[in-house]
A and B are shown apart, each in its own frame.
Chain A
């Protein structure tokens, strides 16, 4: 197809689609997602706005008409949100989640970039194997990988034994149940998410650009700063997004590796729900967490849009 009308043509071809049982193809996943994804969120929103007593199980959503809607609006109860803002614990948990997630993202980037760059610079025939090596841990159980660090970081654990054996420390490091342990766990668990998008952009990087820069007199350092990093930016943004967002809401890592003073919002939600059985409060925490997550989402979209496709 001629270049000028290519995009238009694609759209038109889509419209002239010949998949006949069309409505079924769309309706099935659509209905599923409406029922098991959107509807539950509306329920969370509703429970977050109802008072503690009424929301206890068995809770049954009623929807009988607009009169009901009006009653619903009148019955809105901001009690949970008042609690949320009234108690500094929740605000601190949000802030500390953001801080830990941001620190983890930065460290992950610092480790992932050299690794991705080395992978992309490796001989072509090694690259598929290297790629599998990096992806493989991602396929093995997340829970087990976090658990593996418990054995390493615990007092008198593998790390202590190793460092003591090397004569580097006298006292146990006592890393377990600290924020450092949480950071290590996060960097370790999310490393593949950062490496893959960066590797993908670096792998596509045209080597002749670097040769051209060298030909024009750029030193290796200059080439790296002026060519490699700018062109890898889309991958860096994507990687940071993929690490930062799940890290904010993380539960398993702070629960297993963190201590009582490691405040993270995912853990707070879990505790409110399972230990305190306060469903409205847990729902309100969830709603606010979603709002917090909207920030990196918008930032990412803004950055990603600036980049050429």
Chain B
């Protein structure tokens, strides 16, 4: 059976899959401790030229520390960080060809927008005209022409963010580091800026490394995401890989919603596994099943992969019966909670897309319903 691609997009840019590609940045077995806490633990990761990479994880997972080590503000206790094959150890921050956009923007309050953007260029000793030209170019890039003479406190949040971006880009860094770049913006502005940042990155062909705790931001913007957990990388991959093929339960739960079903392996036939369980039998498709017969496993199913029907579906497996327990109307979709029959009475989340404005047969509280799903929907969780 020919494998389908994950999700509904096809990516042309995937240097990480090419063994001949040379990485731009390499973290090699990097460890950083603060007292008793290991912020980054034996971490290895490669970034490729032109990649937009997101470090995703909760507070305290070490993502910021990892980025600050590349910028030079932290020193690894062990391991190496290479940029274009050169070990960065001993290179102070001001000599590294990376630039950072700070979470607080860190715009110099006593300097105009022009002077903020020109600051890095002046350190390079560029000629006055060259600086003026580059600043003008940067202001045009972030659509802030005419703001050069303003002071940071005369700017809105979104404008400050653009100045910070322009300032970091002005030196044409080899890697642009973004620390929660959209964190301080309100929701509407965040979405707009998100796409602008992506366009900018594609236009300039730069390598971006972004730190974020917002999974939607990471999914929408990044070519690849590193999901981090307590100083380690739990999984690296394209957004659709992270979402559709989470490496373990932590990743599956951190990125998106899941329902977890228990089952016992009854049959393995190539990539197809048959499970039996209290809720009924299930068949799932796993590209590399590493389970044994009789093993107890967890299977995750995303809410949007489940269908609700009032009549029993014809398929023999991958279906369970329950009762509508709760309905939350969210506009673009409706989140339904279904309480499964049986002693445990597990609650299952189902996301129903609201594709038409009026439903023919709307569901209601306490309806008796069937949930069903495809062979491809179940994710076999390891760890």
Contact = CB atoms under 8 A, between A and B. Distances in A.
Interface of A: 1-5, 8-9, 11-13, 16, 18
A16 B34 CA distance: 13
Interface string B40-52: 0000000000000
A2 B60 contact: yes
A2 B61 contact: yes
A18 B72 CA distance: 11
B60 A12 contact: no
Which DSSP category, helix, strand, loop or mixed, fits chain A's interface?
A: helix
A3 B35 contact: no
Nearest to B61: A2
Shortest 9 CB-CB contacts between residues of A and residues of B: A8-B34, A4-B60, A2-B59, A2-B60, A3-B59, A1-B64, A8-B35, A12-B34, A5-B60
B212 interface: no
A5 B73 contact: no
Contact of A16 (B35, B61, B74): B74
B56 to A, nearest CB: 13
Contacts of B37: 4-5, 8
Contacts of B65: 5, 9
A18 B74 contact: no
A1 B213 CA distance: 11
A189 to B, nearest CB: 38
A25 to B, nearest CB: 18
Given A5-B34, A5-B39, A8-B34, A13 B60 contact: no
Contacts of A5: 34, 37, 39, 60, 65
A229 to B, nearest CB: 36
Interface residues of B, number: 15
B39 A16 contact: no
B26 interface: no
Interface in B47-90: 58-61, 64-65, 73-75
Interface of B: 34-35, 37, 39, 58-61, 64-65, 73-75, 92-93
Given A4-B60, A5-B60, 4 more contacts: A1-B64, A2-B59, A4-B37, A18-B93
Contacts of A9: 34, 65
Nearest to B32: A12
A44 B188 CA distance: 70
B336 to A, nearest CB: 35
29 contacts: A1-B64, A2-B58, A2-B59, A2-B60, A2-B61, A3-B59, A3-B60, A4-B37, A4-B59, A4-B60, A5-B34, A5-B37, A5-B39, A5-B60, A5-B65, A8-B34, A8-B35, A8-B37, A8-B39, A9-B65, A11-B34, A12-B34, A12-B74, A13-B73, A16-B73, A16-B74, A16-B75, A18-B92, A18-B93
Contacts, number: 31
A12 B61 CA distance: 17
A2 B92 CA distance: 24
Contacts of B58: 2
Contacts of B34: 5, 8-9, 11-12
B199 to A, nearest CB: 29
Contacts of A2: 58-61, 64
A185 to B, nearest CB: 44
Nearest to B93: A18
A17 to B, nearest CB: 11
A8 B35 CA distance: 7
Contacts of A3: 59-60
Nearest to B57: A2
A13 B92 CA distance: 13
A112 to B, nearest CB: 35
Of listed A1, A12, A16, residue having the most chain B CB within 10 A: A12
A1 B60 CA distance: 8
A13 B60 CA distance: 16
Contacts of B39: 5, 8
B77 to A, nearest CB: 11
A2 B73 CA distance: 15
Nearest to B72: A16
Contacts of A8: 34-35, 37, 39
A136 to B, nearest CB: 28
Nearest to B92: A18
A99 B122 CA distance: 64
B228 to A, nearest CB: 11
A67 to B, nearest CB: 46
A38 B126 CA distance: 50
A1 B37 CA distance: 15
A16 B92 CA distance: 10
B102 to A, nearest CB: 11
B123 to A, nearest CB: 14
Contacts of B93: 18
A1 to B, nearest CB: 6
B323 to A, nearest CB: 41
A11 B36 CA distance: 13
B279 to A, nearest CB: 38
A15 to B, nearest CB: 9
Contacts of B60: 2-5
A13 B68 CA distance: 10
A63 B161 CA distance: 63
Contacts of B73: 13, 16
A8 B37 CA distance: 9
A288 to B, nearest CB: 42
A189 B64 CA distance: 51
A8 B75 CA distance: 14
B43 to A, nearest CB: 15
Contacts of A1: 64
Nearest to A10: B34
A8 B40 CA distance: 13
A116 to B, nearest CB: 31
A8 B93 CA distance: 20
A2 B74 CA distance: 15
